[in-house]
Amino acid sequence: MNKKYKAFISYFQENMPIAESELKYENPYQLVVAVILSAQCTDKRVNMTTPAFFERFPNALSLAQSTQDEVYALIKSISYPNNKSKNLIGMAKALVENFGGVVPDDVDLLQTLPGVGRKTANVVASVAYNKPAMAVDTHVFRVSARIGLTKGAKNPLETERQLVKQIPESIIPKAHHWLILHGRYVCKARKPDCDRCGITEICDYYQSQKS
């Protein structure tokens, strides 16, 4: 592990020892639903929507037996409700038919579910099952590049591969949230709040702004 990664991990272990998803869920099924809904939508909006959704659809079987119109009515305040309604029902049907209604903990198996791409699969494996999977969303992609943890990564998969190569497996699930939360509240997309950042000494972006 290089010095930059050591400093990054050391800082966040001390200053953010608890780092968790801001999505509210009680089991892997609820997490899959929440993560599908969260695509290009805020966690806050998702958390406002899911209580009524889970009351109506408490498990994969009940969701699999619903109609797209019924699902749409419950998630219409979420971005892309038509597409997500279709994916949620497809995901539930696949869970029931192929996995006995139980959400798998394997990234490749998760990606066989409609609406579940690699990022969503990594989130579920990491958050629900504590697997060493690094989900790369826009925050992780941006922050890891700005700091200099990743070099020349052109897409999320390249970013993921560089991060998991350096970060110990045991803390990959937590490091995923370090990067997300840092990007959401400090290292913001349009204007990073460098004055509030505790890792400017190792940040390539900050050092480039000084010179």
CA separation for the pair 204, 138 (Å, rounded) = 18
Indicate which residue of 106, 119, 174, 193 is catalytic.
119
Catalytic residue among 76, 137, 165, 210: 137
DSSP code for 103: P
Report the C-alpha gap between 186 and 15 in whole angstroms.
14
In angstroms, rounded to a whole number, what is the distance separating the alpha carbons of residues 39 and 46?
A: 10
Q: Quick check: is 106 catalytic?
A: no
Q: Establish whether 24 is a catalytic residue.
A: no
Gyration radius (Cα) of the chain, Å:
18
Cα–Cα distance, 77 to 55 (Å, whole number): 17
Q: Which two tokens stand for residue 155?
A: 């897409």
Please identify every residue annotated as catalytic. Answer: 119, 137
